[in-house]
Amino acid sequence: MFKILRVNMTDLSVKAEDVPGAYQGLGGRGLTSAIVAKEVEPTCSPIGTNNKLIFAPGLLGGTNCANSGRISVGAKSPLTGGIKEANSGGQAGQYLAKLGISAIVIEGLQHDDKIYKLYVGKDKYELSPADDLKGLGNYATVDKLKGEFGDKVGFATIGQAGEWKLAAATVAFTDRELRPTRHAGRGGLGAVMGSKGLKAIIIDPADGEFAPLVDKEAFKDAAKRFAKALQEHAVTGQGLPTYGTDVLINIINEAGALPTRNFRSGRFQGADKVGGETMNKITVERKGNPTHGCMSGCVIRCSGIFVDEKGEYVSKWPEYETVWAWGPNCEIDDLDAIARIDRACDDIGVDTIEMGNSVAVAMEGGVKEFGDAAGAEELMAEISKGTPLGRILGSGAGAVGKTFGVRRVPVVKNQAMPAYDPRAVKGVGVTYATSPMGADHTAGYAVAQNIMKVGGDVDPLKNEGQATLSSNLQAATAAIDTAGLCLFVAFPVLDIPDAFNAMVDMLNAKYGLSMTGDDVGALGQRVLGMEKDFNRSAGFTSADDRLPEFFLNEKLPPHDVVFDVTDEDLDSVLKFD
3-state secondary structure of 125: strand
Residues of the chain with pLDDT under 50: none
Residue type at position 573: V
Q: Can you give the pLDDT at residue 577?
A: 63
Residue type at position 339: A
Whether a cis peptide bond, with omega within 30° of 0, leads into 558 is yes
Q: Are 36 and 80 in contact (CB under 8 A)?
A: no
Q: Can you give the pLDDT at residue 55?
A: 98
Helix axes 397-404, 352-364, angle to 10 degrees: 10
Q: Are 76 and 185 in contact (CB under 8 A)?
A: no
DSSP strand E in 13-88: where?
A: 13-18, 53-57, 71-76, 83-88
Domains 213-243+422-577 and 259-421 share a fold: no
Q: Are 88 and 183 in contact (CB under 8 A)?
A: yes
| Dihedrals phi, psi of 466, to nearest 5 degrees | -70, -35
CA distance 68 to 298: 8
Q: Can you give the pLDDT at residue 110?
A: 83
Q: Can you give the pLDDT at residue 112?
A: 84
Alpha helix ranges (H) inside 150-215: 160-163, 189-196
What b/e string do you get for 428-450 counting C-beta neighbours within 10 Å, with b at 16 or more? bbbbbbbbbbbbbbbbbbbbbbb
Residue 237: C-alpha distances to residues 166, 229, 293, 301 (Å): 38, 9, 13, 9
3-state secondary structure of 81: coil
Residue 341: C-alpha distances to residues 27, 325, 389 (Å): 33, 11, 17
Instruction: State the pTM of this model.
Output: 0.98
Domain ranges of the chain: 3-203, 213-243+422-577, 259-421
CA distance 364 to 261: 8
DSSP strand E in 89-242: where?
A: 101-107, 116-121, 124-129, 154-157, 171-173, 182-184, 198-203
3-state secondary structure of 74: strand
Q: Which CATH number fits domain 3-203: 3.60.9.10, 3.30.565.10, 3.40.50.1820, 3.30.70.360?
A: 3.60.9.10
Across the chain, what does the average pLDDT equal?
97
What are all long-range contacts of 38-44, with beta carbons under 8 Å and residues at least 24 apart? 39/105, 40/75, 40/76, 40/534, 42/76, 42/534, 42/535, 42/537, 42/538, 42/539, 43/537, 43/538, 43/539, 44/76
CB within 8 A of 81, min separation 6: which ones? 46, 413, 414, 538, 539
CA proximity to 430, closest of 526, 572, 534: 572
CATH dotted code for 213-243+422-577: 1.10.599.10
Helix, strand, coil shares, percent, the chain, to 5: 45, 15, 40
CATH architecture for residues 259-421: Orthogonal Bundle (1.10)
Read off the DSSP letter of residue 330: G
pLDDT in tens, 182-213: 999 999 999 999 999 999 999 999 999 999 99
Length of the chain: 577
Q: Are 83 and 531 in contact (CB under 8 A)?
A: yes
